[in-house]
Structure 1
Amino acid sequence: MSPESQASEALPSRRRRTPRGGRHRGDESFLLPHGSPVLVLAVPGTARGAGGVPEELARLVELEHTGQPTLVGYLEGDEGNLGALLATLDQQRPDEPGAVVVPLVTGPEHETEQAIRKIVAAAPIRAVAAEPLGPHPLIAEALHDRLADAGLARADRIRMMTMVTAAGGVIVVTPGDAFAVRQAEVSSVLLASRLASPVFTARVDDQAGVQAAAAQLRGSGVQRLAVAPQLIGFEPDARYITAAAEAAGAEHAAPLGAHTALARLAALRYAEALSAALSG
């Protein structure tokens, strides 16, 4: 078999699922051929602090997109530790990665990415670290859904757009540094387009920044504010969500949790990382 055909066989094939009604119609999935590298979701923190959400997302990735088991590894603690997990995996094919590790974070987080790359480099098998889930338009979709779930936005399930919003303005709060906030502005712009309402971005643990965003929104005439957390929910910074909403004098949506859009992104980041590794 030629190197080109080997690479083609190793890459996930793309299939279009049968269209479904509602907000999630038109999903795309990735079928992994036998012997493909294992997809591992890398989770910041410990298994106890994650509350089972990563495992729910792993099942969504399996059922909706890959057709093969998705594993979960944690960066801290002994239970489900990422390094220990990678040490148990076999190298199926010596000429390609044995695992692709997808950071289960919604945007760039330098410390998390550095920790993952260090663990991947020390693994006894050849492993590849993928990019974080965001920025990506699917993050805006997930934020929109959580706002709708909280009664803070109304979703038109036929046109997949929001026609009327319960909140007149939204503050997207995200973990990370100033660079992460700038990256999260991609979600904010797309969310504003979906809601036809102004959307600002702030760091979730920066109460002064959240208050400044709230003041700008109220200065433009917005009466009711909503905070949309761009967090999956188990990140250490998730504890600041309620404080951010209080600082803004706003209601808040739930974290993204085990959302189908995040499962789609995990499969996409896997496919991108594997493609780059095989062609590099």
Structure 2
Amino acid sequence: MSPSTAYGPAPHPGSRPVLVAVAHGSRDPRALPVVRALVARVRAARPGLDVRLGHVELDEPLLADTLAGLRGRTAVLVPLLLTRGHHVKHDLPAALAATPGVRGTVAAPLGPHPLLAWVLHDRLRAAGWAAGRSDGVILAAAGSRDPDSAADTARTAALLAARLGVPVTPAYASAATPTVPEALAALTARGADPARIAVASCFTAPGRFATQTAAAAPDLAAAPLGAHPAMAALVLHRYDQALRSTTASGTALARAS
């Protein structure tokens, strides 16, 4: 199966709940066009499926406003986030619960997943990375105080390392350690050549953290994940996965009170 092919069956779109893609939001003006392009790819990959966009903060439409427009509908919130953390575990369910008249569920974040490792690999290659000229890769992620988030990033790093055939070290822009400079220092102390270490950008779109971690790269830094076809496939996979899980458990999508 091509990595850009949506996983799972696609029942008749007219009977499907709305897919609400939930981005974090950013003050970086480059972020919103990238997120919109990703959502457009999702729509194109599943014609007839109602796909909406909502943001946790900073950008419009805000998630609360998107959900308010779905009164009487059912929805699956798909986080355009890459690990389990506070937003996925608390903010998204809270937003759903605070919206009267909307049934819904929250899908898993996009990572970890082999498709995510595929996109990271592709972005590295586009930046000029080559296995024969690499002593390792630093996987730069946002960071969180939630231990599940760190576990998810570590799993993504392992999946990427299996694809690349070189060590991949997780590093973080905030709330967790090591930072990219600290990870670089540790790799150098073990004999790696800094000029042969690349930074993979584990961020959905451009923003402060992506810029910050790329600036710390000693050599090349890959672009954020963006509107890659496999990212659209992964969004649809998480949507279908959430619906299958609900059906298998014999429960209806929760109704917000």
TM over 0.5: yes
**Match of 1:218, as an amino acid?**
T
Query: 2-side partners of 1:25 and 1:103: how far apart?
Result: 19
8 A Cα contact 1:32 1:67, kept in partner:
no
Secondary structure of 2:138's aligned partner:
strand
- Is the alpha carbon distance of 1:239 and 1:25 closer, same or farther for their aligned partners in structure 2, counting shifts above 3 Å? closer
Equivalent residue for 1:91, pick from 69, 72, 81: 72
**Match of 1:210, as an amino acid?**
V
- Is the alpha carbon distance of 1:46 and 1:190 closer, same or farther for their aligned partners in structure 2, counting shifts above 3 Å? closer
1:29 is displaced (CA, Å) by 5.8
Determine the structure 2 residue equivalent to 1:267: 236
Query: 1-side partners of 2:125 and 2:89: how far apart?
Result: 31
Query: 2-side partners of 1:212 and 1:260: how far apart?
Result: 33
Equivalent residue for 2:91, pick from 112, 115, 118: 115
Equivalent residue for 1:211, pick from 181, 189, 194: 181
Secondary structure of 1:31's aligned partner:
coil
**Gaps spanning 5+ residues in structure 1: where?**
1-18, 93-97, 154-163
Secondary structure of 2:15's aligned partner:
coil
Equivalent residue for 1:132, pick from 82, 99, 109: 109
**Match of 1:171, as an amino acid?**
I
Counting only pairs closer than 5 Å after superposition, residues 1-280 of structure 1 correspond to structure 2 as 24=3, 28=7, 30-33=9-12, 34-45=14-25, 49=29, 50-65=31-46, 67-77=48-58, 79-92=60-73, 98-111=74-87, 113-124=89-100, 125-153=102-130, 164-177=131-144, 179=147, 180-205=149-174, 209-223=179-193, 224-234=196-206, 237-245=209-217, 249-278=218-247, 279-280=250-251
Secondary structure of 2:117's aligned partner:
helix
Secondary structure of 1:261's aligned partner:
helix
1:25 is displaced (CA, Å) by 6.6
**Match of 1:168, as an amino acid?**
D
1:27 is displaced (CA, Å) by 5.4
TM-score normalised over the length of structure 1: 0.76
- Is the alpha carbon distance of 1:111 and 1:26 closer, same or farther for their aligned partners in structure 2, counting shifts above 3 Å? closer
- Is the alpha carbon distance of 1:77 and 1:222 closer, same or farther for their aligned partners in structure 2, counting shifts above 3 Å? closer
**Gaps spanning 5+ residues in structure 2: where?**
252-257
Describe the superposition over 1:24-48 as per-residue Cα deviations: whole angstroms up to 9, x where unpaired. Answer: 4765464242221000101112597
Determine the structure 2 residue equivalent to 1:10: none
- RCO (CA 8 Å, sep 6+): is it higher in 1 or 2? 2
Query: 2-side partners of 1:148 and 1:83: how far apart?
Result: 38
1:172 is displaced (CA, Å) by 0.3
- The number of residues matched between the two structures is 241
Determine the structure 1 residue equivalent to 2:255: none
Q: Identical aligned pairs, as a percentage?
A: 35
Query: 2-side partners of 1:231 and 1:128: how far apart?
Result: 24
TM-score normalised over the length of structure 2: 0.82
Secondary structure of 1:222's aligned partner:
coil
Determine the structure 2 residue equivalent to 1:159: none
- Is the alpha carbon distance of 1:66 and 1:137 closer, same or farther for their aligned partners in structure 2, counting shifts above 3 Å? farther
- Is the alpha carbon distance of 1:277 and 1:27 closer, same or farther for their aligned partners in structure 2, counting shifts above 3 Å? closer
Q: Quick check: which has more Rg, 1 or 2?
A: 1
Query: 2-side partners of 1:231 and 1:43: how far apart?
Result: 11
